[in-house]
């Protein structure tokens, strides 16, 4: 049963610290998406990759957030420095080549910045 995995599942950190979230997409999927979910804003797209190349990161605060795909099995989302307003659940999703937009979501990383 292929699934998207995310680590850590929970992260509590202090303001100003660096946070790194990791995602392993489903093997064979060529698109990866990072989303942030909050009660106030709902689900927001932060960044999206196809074949490891970043195609859209317009939803991401550029000064503190960065997203990369070092290889096809790993995507990372970093926040440096973190702020309390970054507290949210961060989801990674992956999609198949040629698929009509269907995305498979991981369980999320719940981030709390104090």
Contact flags string 74-93 toward another protein, x per CB under 8 A:
-----------------x-x
Contact flags string 23-62 toward another protein, x per CB under 8 A:
--------x-x--------xx-x--x-x----xx------
Q: Does 108 bind another protein (CB under 8 A)?
A: yes
d(CA 93, CA 1): 16
Select from 60, 95, 111, 113 the one that contacts another protein (CB under 8 A).
95
Q: Which residue has the tokens 């000064």?
A: 63
Check if the beta carbon of residue 67 is closer than 8 Å to that of residue 34.
yes
CA angle 91, 62, 43 (to 5 degrees): 30
Select from 4, 23, 46, 111 the one that contacts another protein (CB under 8 A).
4
d(CA 73, CA 2): 13
CB of 3 to another protein, least distance (A): 9
**Phi, psi (degrees; rounded to nearest 5) at 8:** -75, 170
Check if the beta carbon of residue 92 is closer than 8 Å to that of residue 103.
no
Looking at the Cβ atoms of 20 and 37, the one nearer to another protein is 37
Q: What residues line the site for another protein (CB under 8 A)? A: 4, 31, 33, 42-43, 45, 48, 50, 55-56, 91, 93, 95, 99-108
């Amino acid at each position: 049963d292929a699934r998207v995995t995310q680590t850590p599942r929970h992260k509590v950190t202090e303001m100003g610290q660096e946070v790194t979230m990791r995602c392993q997409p489903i093997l064979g999927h060529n698109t990866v998406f990072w989303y942030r979910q909050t009660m106030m804003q709902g689900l927001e797209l932060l960044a999206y990759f196809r074949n490891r190349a970043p195609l859209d990161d317009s939803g991401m605060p550029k000064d503190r957030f960065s997203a990369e795909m070092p290889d096809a099995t790993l995507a990372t989302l970093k926040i440096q420095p973190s702020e309390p307003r970054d507290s949210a659940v961060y989801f990674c999703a992956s999609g198949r080549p040629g698929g009509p937009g269907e995305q498979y979501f991981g369980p999320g990383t719940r981030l709390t910045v104090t």
